[in-house]
Chain A
């Protein structure tokens, strides 16, 4: 039973990463018995996620990211010591990535791709997966999985949703509605947007950019019909019919 959530500061990460890279990924950092269990557990769920991919699904990296992300989300949320407070603590994700399971991060991003281990908070892989699931959550693992494996979502979506999180915190209800709404567009509507030859050819990016501008003067929760009403306004502005 872990009494205290473990964290690593930026400078501590720098030192530990140097040892990790020097050892060419052969020597895992020392962790206590509680975290050794976590290391094994996360290792197993990553293996399960990897094994569940089949060539018929296509897009290997995104598929494994989603399945692993969902399992990691479920696993951490079931730990008594984990909470939204822990999830928003970047130094916790640093500890997990650099001290506990660097070998798994290495598998996905390479031995020394430091941004995804600790350097850029929004790019820490484990962190971005947990928040991707949280920002897209719809009532159950099953429903969220169905949503995230729809064809219009990709690793670019993870980038746009997580890495461009609001500088002063994110409106979770809003992001969930944006993703739900977007998932209901036909691929036809989405590709037609690309074909218009506008500066921003990606409809999802266009919605996110417009949101950044609009949210300065309009508060989503306070619109007529609340957050969904606000998202409808965004779509109206882009001439997309819901």
Chain B
């Protein structure tokens, strides 16, 4: 989706604070007529874009209780999003013609649940100001799993009658004009990135890594990448996190670094894999490597640079231990 070039004006993030005031998402469930809020745990500092949900009371689980998504969105002044009907240097953020109606919707999608949907929230015209919309959406019980993404999108709800200065705007109902923000929520699975398993194989090396994907852009990372630590090896004690006296962070860091280098190099050996990481499915092998490159800032242009980036990362990470 990041590769699509829109043929009409789309929502500009710079307009966000002039037009909208968005509260945070609140996730709740109902037990015995009581509405209970779920805790959002997040690694993000500052601007939160994702969280794992948990219940302080210990009751909630997605098999028994439907999940409810709540959010309040206030429209400060919608006029910024509409054309004035005349060419105007001030109408920088216009995405629809003057008499069209724009809709807001909650789009949700989850690869792990194999489902997606869009729920209308409200509509705005060029005169809308100081109006509040409330999202209150219930998923069916036991219907979703893993990670779910929520996007607030803008779309054409009702066409306008564009004049000569407005023909470049999208005007067909259903056309998406952009998104305001995205938030991801994990309801099960700990989202742990590194699938490390213990095995018991006398005579085998201390560690091993297996890459079993067939399509890196869609096969899940946690499914198709496995790092094995061999309990039967004489030096296992240096990798046993429960053995505080012998556990060796340097060795552990070294093994993790080498394993990840193998993964990146295996991907590199597949034609075109490293040049098309952005289009990969969430949670896939390719998306994980894209995460290393974009969010963790690793340089993976060559095997030497990868080795250096990975080791720098783990040195930093394990300094704190």
Contact = CB atoms under 8 A, between A and B. Distances in A.
B82 to A, nearest CB: 18
Contacts of A230: 174
A219 B173 CA distance: 9
Interface in B84-109: 103, 105, 107, 109
A122 to B, nearest CB: 8
A219 B118 contact: yes
B174 A84 contact: no
Given A11-B226, A165-B114, A168-B111, A222 B105 contact: yes
A120 B223 CA distance: 11
Interface stretch (B141-149, B299-307, B313-321): B141-149
A172 B119 CA distance: 14
B174 A220 contact: yes
Nearest to A218: B174
20 contacts: A14-B212, A84-B115, A85-B63, A85-B145, A88-B112, A88-B114, A89-B145, A120-B214, A165-B114, A167-B111, A168-B109, A169-B111, A169-B115, A170-B114, A172-B115, A217-B6, A219-B155, A221-B117, A222-B103, A222-B173
Interface in A171-205: 171-173
A10 B113 contact: no
Contacts of A18: none
Interface string B170-207: 10111110000000000000000000010000000000
Interface string A209-226: 000000011111111100
A131 interface: yes
B140 interface: yes
B153 interface: yes
Contact of A219 (B1, B111, B174): B174
Given A11-B226, A131-B114, A171-B117, A85 B214 contact: no
Contacts of A25: none
Given A88-B113, A217-B170, 14 more contacts: A10-B224, A11-B197, A11-B212, A85-B145, A167-B111, A169-B113, A171-B116, A217-B6, A218-B172, A218-B176, A219-B105, A221-B117, A221-B118, A222-B173
A158 to B, nearest CB: 15
A153 B72 CA distance: 45
B281 interface: yes
Nearest to B224: A10
Contacts of A43: none
Nearest to A131: B114
Nearest to A167: B281
B155 A169 contact: no
B117 A85 contact: no
Interface of A: 9-11, 14, 83-85, 87-91, 119-121, 131, 165-173, 216-224, 229-230
Nearest to B159: A224
Contacts of A90: 223
B210 interface: yes
A86 to B, nearest CB: 8
A83 B174 contact: no
B163 interface: no
B174 A168 contact: no
Nearest to B156: A222
A131 B115 CA distance: 11
B174 A224 contact: yes
| Closest A-B pairs by Cβ, 10 of them | A223-B174, A83-B142, A169-B116, A167-B281, A224-B173, A84-B143, A168-B109, A88-B114, A221-B118, A169-B109
Nearest to B141: A83
A217 B62 contact: no
A169 B151 CA distance: 14
Given A219-B153, A221-B118, A222-B173, A85 B224 contact: no
Nearest to B110: A169
Nearest to B284: A167
A225 to B, nearest CB: 9
B219 to A, nearest CB: 8
B50 interface: no
B142 A85 contact: yes
B273 interface: no
B162 interface: no
Nearest to B140: A84
Contacts of B149: 168
A84 B6 contact: no
Nearest to A119: B214
B70 interface: no
B54 interface: no
